Structure 1
Amino acid sequence: MKFGGTSVANGTNMRHVASIVSENHKNGFKVVVVTSALAGVTDWLLEAAEQAKNRSESYVQEFKEKLLSRHSEVISAAIEKRSIKAEVSQTIKSTMNELEKVLVGINYLGELTPKSKDYVLSFGERLSAPILWGTMRDLGLEAKWLTGKDAGIVTDSNFGEANPLMNVTAHQVRERLQPIIERGIIPVVTGYIAATQEGTVTTLGRGGSDYTATILGVALSADEVWIWTDVDGIMTADPKIIPTARMLPELSYQEAAEMAIFGAKAMHPRALEPAMKENIPVRIRNVFNPSNPGTLISSTTTARSTDVVKAVALIKDVALINISGAGMVGAPGSYAKVFDVLGKNGINVMMVSVAVSAASISLIVRRSLMARAVSTLEIALLGKMVSQVSAEDDICVIAVMGANMQGTLGVASRIFTAVAKSGINIRMIAQGSSELNISFVVKEKDGEQVVRAIHDEFKLHRAWQ
């Protein structure tokens, strides 16, 4: 069971989470718990790490007091027994002192490396896990808290988005957690955190607590991995746009991966990789509505063949970059040069569309990176093989997804006819070879209307009734 930051945002929520664990434990389930940092704390730590290298040492002390106060409030509300409360409070204070030393070191050096940033960010989960551990004990459960490093998760040294070394990780996790579980003790493991083979702390990337859960699930051959969040499951569309949107009871791994990449709430994109490889089902559940079974993600689904499209997503905060030039025509490696320039400047390309003439290429990037992308492309390529680089920031991406789209005739026609009937122009189109996803670009002001048109065309509000 993995619980996200909203699930453990305050003392009341923390106690509710502990009661969910308790109920499932009493029902005979062998449970391993993974917890995120308290909601917002990882952002606090990231800002503190950046500020520490430029601000005075007094800033570090002020931040420490702010963070201690937040966690002390949670402890007071979540734990009733004085002895347990005192024990957890002491653990938190000791961890805070360690964090203070790290931030002071960054302050003295005036430098924040990827390695030290990972170390700072690891403190969010290291502060929340002991509180959940104490809360569970307060409810009468036997529990033991561990960092991801202590649990045996080993990664490479790609700080900020480390990759697990699954063979050694599986061996160590079984060796360290299985005896605890067999004694009836519930492990409470920090999400997001791991370590290199040398013991240096790493992180699995933002949202990596999901990844921790599936890594542990695979290593322990779990029956299911439950991702507890603040939504009932994965929806056919954003309920804020489509009030009649429905929860999807089932998805294939491939569908869920596509939807996660395009922003479907409740799942980290990389988290599905280990579960998919070992065929471990993943279930998305609502911590505030535990009676709802949620969305089951597995290798097989019972979807009807008529359910061609499963969901439609709207991705905002993106920009369209158009690159053109006669010098690109027939020039080997011209597209590679474009991607090389962007990659070296830390700009990820989300979507690509090219003309068969090879005279132009269109890219989608995050809107916050648009200006940097345009300037770096102009500096590196303008006047050489490229004659023009232009950008549009008033656009959005519409992604239409479903496994049954593969090999089904007329899906694209229905999508684009629905858009045309709404009087909306499409700026760019892309479809991968898997045929699980058709993505296209429209003006941002038209985005919600397009989502509604496609949702209605495929009757997604009735798909699972």
Structure 2
Amino acid sequence: MKLVMKFGGTSLADAERMRRCARLVQENAGPEGAAAVVSAMDGVTEELWALAEAAAVTGPALVETRLASLRRRHEEAAGCLGGVDRVTQLLAELERLREGIGAVGELTARSRDAVLSFGERLAAALFERALALEGLAPATFTGGEAGLVTDERFGEAEPLFELSLYQMGERVGRALGEGRTALVTGYIAATQHGVTTTLGRGGSDYTATLLGAALGAGEVWIWSDVDGLMSADPRLVPEARLLEQISFAEAVEMAQFGAKAMHPRALEPAAERGIPVRMKNTFNPASPGTLISGGEASGTVARSIHLVQDAGLINVTGAAMIGHAGTAARVFQTLAERGINIRMISQSVSEAGISLAVAGNQLEAARAALESALLRTRAARRVEADREVAIVAVVGSGMRGVPGVAARMFGAIARRGINVIAIAQGSSELSVSFVVSRAAGPEAVRALHEELVQAPGG
């Protein structure tokens, strides 16, 4: 089968690790060939972001210090792998771009994307050499050269789906047909006019699943520094287990609650085309990893328990809210206008109160915005904020349609003397989330894992 393998920044942190990843490509490529997608070397995207910001507002000395660090790291890897000339050429291009930003004293979103693209372009130049050292014949593409076309929302570009799949299938598929190993930069793409864009968070994973969909791959493998998804954070629950198989829907839910999983957007192409995604550990390749597929794995009622500690709770209350159409919409609109994301919503049947969980660093902004919008017009009587809270989430398709799950869940919490402040559940029954005090969060996770995952018949 055709195989697409994406390697993250920690997997490509230096020349030795690149050689390790190249061997994984060589060992796993079947008769139909393999394509590799690469991220920037570990920490390089952050360095480039800081470089771009500094180029617009500071003098050349600080900028040159950052450039020297990037140059030293990539030239050192190139010295081990070969390909020094290509790395030198790319670094010279980056230097010219930096000079242009400094000359105008302004960093646009378009210019930032151009700077950030060098992380993946440099990594691809190095990984091309690593593949060649393993006896493979790489055909290297930037995302745009591979056919990945996006709109012009720089920094968070959205692919033109059908056009991108067609072009990537044609161009990358042709290289595979010639017996070559395709190598594509993750994260970066281009507009229809050829201007470089970036795909935002999870962009390299997104590139990999788009490429898998375009090629009709048998599987997409995401290589990182962990064995796969766990049933809980092992730091909180030493008994946490590796999840060998989960559904796409479960993976999306887990990602929403902070699991070290793929960004939900990156799963869409694979889910739509029914292409399994396997998460594997570069440093423990014998581990089966976690398989994400369309089927629902049998097993425990809950697949995983999550804790979100960076959270705050807003309570909006008042008799004027009862039976008054549009109050909830006004609350949501007020927060949306200020770019505040709502993580969880709970409303009483009486309509006298709405509880909203937001990120901890947005709590005060949310409170101030809602007070201004609602108290002045008496649409609500009180807006209260509580920063000493955490969100606990239970995820698993095994809960769907099973009576008694809620009783077991809240019984386990109650036996530990933990008070539940607010509760939310979607109609899909894939997850239940609730708010507890921040201090009680870790104990709540352990109680639920013991009851719903570890217990016999859990």
Q: TM-score, normalised by structure 2?
A: 0.94
In structure 2, the partner of 1:389 is 383
Match of 1:453 in 2: 447
Paired-residue identity, %: 47
Task: Find the counterpart in structure 2 of residue 48 from structure 1.
Answer: 51
Question: In 2, distance between residues paired with 1:458 and 1:18?
Answer: 40
The letter of the residue matching 1:442 is: V
Task: Output the CA distance in 1 between the equivalents of 2:287 and 2:456.
Answer: 19
The residue correspondences of 1:379-418 to structure 2 (distance < 5 A) are 379-384=372-377, 385-418=379-412
1:190 aligned partner, one-letter code: T
**CA apart distance, 1:17:** 0.6
Distance in 2 between residues matched to 1:98 and 1:462, nearest whole Å: 60
Instruction: Work out whether residues 246 and 460 of structure 1, in 8 Å CA contact, stay in contact via their aligned partners in 2.
Output: no
- Residue 82 of structure 1 aligns with which residue? none
Deviation at 1:242, TM superposition (A): 1.4
Is 1:254 the equivalent of 2:249? yes
Which residue of 34, 39, 61 corresponds with 2:37? 34
| Amino acid across the alignment from 1:22 | Q
Correspondence for 2:329: 336
Deviations 1:205-245 (A, max 9, x none): 12211111100000110000011111111111111111221
In structure 2, distance between residues paired with 1:145 and 1:461: 50
Task: Summarize the Cα distance change of 1:314–1:179 in structure 2 as closer, same or farther, 3 Å threshold.
Answer: same
Please tell me whether the aligned partners of residues 285 and 293 of structure 1 are also in contact (alpha carbons under 8 angstroms): yes
Counterpart CA distance in 1 for 2:371 and 2:51 is 35
In 2, Cα distance between equivalents of 1:386 and 1:93: 62
Alignment of 1:39-438 (within 5 A): 39-77=42-80, 79=81, 85=82, 88-304=83-299, 307-384=300-377, 385-438=379-432
1:5 aligns with 2:15: no
Cα 1:347/1:100, change in 2 over 3 Å:
farther
Instruction: Give aligned pairs, total.
Output: 453
Q: CA deviation at 1:309?
A: 1.0
Q: Whole-Å Cα distance in 1 between the matches of residues 115 and 193 of structure 2?
A: 18
Residues 1:49 and 1:318: Cα distance change in structure 2 (over 3 Å): farther
* Alpha-carbon distance in structure 1 between the residues aligned to 2:374 and 2:92: 50
The 3 A distance-change label for structure 1 pair 368 and 30 is same
Partner of 2:28: 24
Deviation for aligned residue 1:156: 1.8
- For residues 323 and 121 of structure 1, the distance between their equivalents in structure 2, rounded to whole angstroms, comes to 41
Note the C-alpha offset of 1:461.
Answer: 7.6
Supply the AA of the counterpart residue of 2:198: T
- CA distance in structure 1 between the aligned counterparts of 2:13 and 2:244, rounded to whole angstroms: 27
**Given residue 177 of structure 2, which amino acid in structure 1 is its aligned partner?**
E
Give the Cα–Cα distance (whole angstroms) in 2 for the partners of residues 428 and 377 of structure 1: 19
Q: Structure 2: how far apart are the matches of 1:95 and 1:374?
A: 47
Please list every run of 5 or more consecutive structure 1 residues that lacks an aligned counterpart in the other structure: 80-84
Q: Is the 8 A contact 2:304 2:453 kept in 1?
A: no
Q: Distance in 2 between matches of 1:99 and 1:341?
A: 41
Could you tell me how far 1:115 is from its partner in structure 2? 2.3
The offset of 1:432, in angstroms, is 0.7
1:149 CA drift (Å): 0.8
Partner letter of residue 7 of structure 2? F
Structure-2 separation of matches of 1:34 and 1:463? 40
| Rounded Cα–Cα distance in structure 1 between residues aligned with 2:99 and 2:373 | 40
User: For residues 273 and 460 of structure 1, do their structure 2 counterparts lie closer, same or farther at Cα, with a shift above 3 Å needed?
Assistant: farther
Distance (whole Å) between structure 2 residues aligned to residue 53 and residue 379 of structure 1: 36
Match of 2:309, SS? strand
**Distance in 1 of aligned mates of 2:451 and 2:102:** 57
Per-residue CA deviation, residues 278-297 of structure 1 (Å, 9 max, x unaligned), is: 11111111111111121111
Residue identity opposite 1:317 in structure 2: D
User: How far does residue 29 in structure 1 lie from its aligned partner after superposition?
Assistant: 5.3
Bigger mean CA deviation after superposition, 180-189 or 199-208: 199-208
RMSD: 1.8
**In structure 1, C-alpha distance between the alignment counterparts of 2:420 and 2:197, rounded to whole Å:** 42
Distance 1:451 1:141, change over 3 A: same
CA contact (8 A) 2:8 2:223 kept: yes
Which runs of 5 or more structure 2 residues have no equivalent in the other structure? none
TM-score (norm 1): 0.93
Alpha-carbon distance in structure 1 between the residues aligned to 2:283 and 2:250: 25
